[in-house]
Amino acid sequence: MLEMLFVHLCNMREPIAIETFRVAPRPARGAMIKSALKHHASRVTPEQASAILDALKKLEKLSSMRNEIAHGHVSQISKNENDHIIMQGNFLSSTINPMGIWASREDNKKYAHTAAEIDEWRDKVRHERGRIMDVWEAIVTRDQAAKSN
């Protein structure tokens, strides 16, 4: 999705930049999109550029949970406090705590994600990706209309 946007922002005229984008890490891709928005400002409206930048910022905030989900494992956890069950069921949790130390599944409960939390995260990501895809679609539509005229 971001690659398609980048390609169309650059008007498909920069093959080396496109190839670099394809292999760049996420922070570099974000910087490349921002640069393309600046250097090819006529390709989008100010509102569209703002929507892209806002969506990128929100996706960046969501990326840490993505990493926890992608590199985690599911385990059955049950936690009681004052004779009340406060956590019980299957949870997705990472095996490394925020300090980078290998953590046991039992020690790692506070980093667990439930199916509902993962679903909520997925919906947020889809919303932001949809905003970016809307701008990409507008660029493609304008390009097609210009070719028809």
Residue pLDDT, tens place only, 119-140: 999 999 999 999 999 999 999 9
Cα separation, 25 vs 18, whole angstroms: 13
Residue pLDDT, tens place only, 63-95: 888 877 776 667 677 788 898 888 788 777 666
Cα separation, 146 vs 10, whole angstroms: 16
pLDDT at position 134: 97
pLDDT at position 1: 86
Question: How many Å from the N-terminal Cα to the C-terminal Cα in the chain?
Answer: 28
Better pLDDT: 89 or 98 = 89
- Cα dist. 15→25, 30, 70 in Å? 18, 18, 31
**Which residue is associated with the tokens 């936690």?**
79
Q: Has residue 43 got a pLDDT over 90?
A: yes
Better pLDDT: 4 or 109 = 4
Q: Outline where DSSP puts E strands in 2-63.
A: none
Helix H segments across 1-149?
2-9, 15-23, 26-39, 46-70, 115-148
Residue pLDDT, tens place only, 1-39: 899 999 999 887 778 888 999 999 989 999 999 999 999
pLDDT at position 104: 58
**Which residue is associated with the tokens 């400002």?**
41
pLDDT at position 14: 77
- Cα dist. 146→36, 49, 133, 139 in Å? 21, 20, 20, 11
Q: Are strands 73-81 and 84-93 parallel, antiparallel or unpaired?
A: antiparallel
